[in-house]
Amino acid sequence: MATGSATCARGPGSTGTRIVPSASIRHRKSPLWQRPRGKRSRPVHEAIRQSLEESGRLLQTLAPSLAPQIERAALLILEAFRQQRKLLIMGNGGSAADAQHLAAELVGRFSRRERRALPALALTTDTSVLTSVGNDFGFESIFQQQIEALAQEGDVVLAISTSGLSENILRGLEMAQAKGARTLALLGRDGGKVKGLVELAIIVPSPETPRIQEVHLAIEHVLCQEIEKHFSA
């Protein structure tokens, strides 16, 4: 009999069939959310609390040094928008999601109800472009080709990378420079190779990717806040 199966039994004089669960089903533990709270949950709660506190401490520690850098980045992007230029954003994995998040907040709205849409584009969303370029030229060219096609002088290209080492990011920034675009980066660890290719690198000096990404998201929200307040409908 397969593990977790049940058997059918017919009692004496019975006119129906009774389902008898196997021992493995009878003794299977209930889901976590149905179990009574007790001492066993404390280590889990402690780990969660520690993760939240680590994230908060890192952001609090870095806030004094991040604030002036975020202001510079916001002013650079703001200047581009005022000159009818656009923001192009690139990243891989979780940073690709960050790129889309930031673009959505600017094209839509962050917190102000009444303001015009702002021209921001994540280079991580068009699967046809990404797969065709990746297939024909290689994954390392997926941002380079888009920037060559879309970037104009005075645009801003923002790279988001926790390592600062991704080849497709490096090639994208080199193309941005060739097109006369301004360049920014949100980075982690020591900034990697990317920090040497941009006008302004905002670096989160943590070895842990989740913590870096959490601070990057906070930076993106503050950028939106500072940019948005300069625009009305």
135 carries a ligand binding annotation? yes
13 carries a ligand binding annotation? no
138 carries a ligand binding annotation? no
91 carries a ligand binding annotation? no
154 carries a ligand binding annotation? no
92 carries a ligand binding annotation? yes
CA dist 88 and 157 (Å) reads 5
161 carries a ligand binding annotation? yes
216 carries a ligand binding annotation? no
232 carries a ligand binding annotation? no
**Reduced 3-state DSSP string for the chain:** CCCCCEEEECCCCCCCCEEEECHHHHCCCCCHHHCCCCCCHHHHHHHHHHHHHHHHHHHHHHHHHHHHHHHHHHHHHHHHHHCCCCEEEEECCHHHHHHHHHHHHHHCCCCCCCCCCCCEEECCCCHHHHHHHHHHCCHHHHHHHHHHHHCCCCCEEEEECCCCCCHHHHHHHHHHHHCCCEEEEEEECCCCCHHHHCCEEEEECCCCHHHHHHHHHHHHHHHHHHHHCCCCC
Residue 129, burial from CB neighbour count under 10 angstroms (0-12, 13-18, 19+): middle
221 carries a ligand binding annotation? yes
- Residue among 93, 191, 203, 107 at smallest CA distance from 142: 93
166 carries a ligand binding annotation? yes
Residues annotated within a binding site? 92-94, 101, 105, 135-136, 161-163, 166, 213, 221
Can you say which residues are annotated as belonging to the binding site for Zn(2+)? 101, 105, 213, 221
Known binding-site residue numbers for substrate: 92-94, 105, 135-136, 161-163, 166, 213
